[in-house]
Structure 1
Amino acid sequence: MTDRDPLVPALTGMLVDVVWWLESCGDEEVDPDSAVKIMESVGGELLRLPSGQRERLLRRYSRTWPKRSKTLRGATS
């Protein structure tokens, strides 16, 4: 998969959305232990990426986040 692959922004956005959602959920929505396990797993996988891939993911994230953060803030209001 390359930076120009249309899956990259979609997958990056979904990853950000899922982690953000898990972080913002209450205990009645998601078991806290399960949420922590999932977030630790995601973090571990991200740390295993080569540094160049992590940098590309962060660049993609920084382009994706402003649009997504408005959407997410609206969804939780």
Structure 2
Amino acid sequence: MASSPDLPDPAALPRPCGQPPTGVGISHAGLLITAFAIGMIVGSSAMAMATPRLPQRKTLILALTASAPVTLSLL
């Protein structure tokens, strides 16, 4: 079947079961998502226990300031 000039070549499209262009496989991506979720559970619980007496605004500024270097290093 001839492809239309407006449509991409089907051979160039990513396969659902193949490895995406990022080089991270499906099983590795699942582990990364699981690690992220566990980190969010542990981190949010730790923050809730560590900052109950601080004002909410001060806690937010502290959290954003602490996470800024990590966020900027990932860019």
Q: Which has more radius of gyration?
A: 2
* TM-score (ref. length: structure 2): 0.36
More helix by share: 1
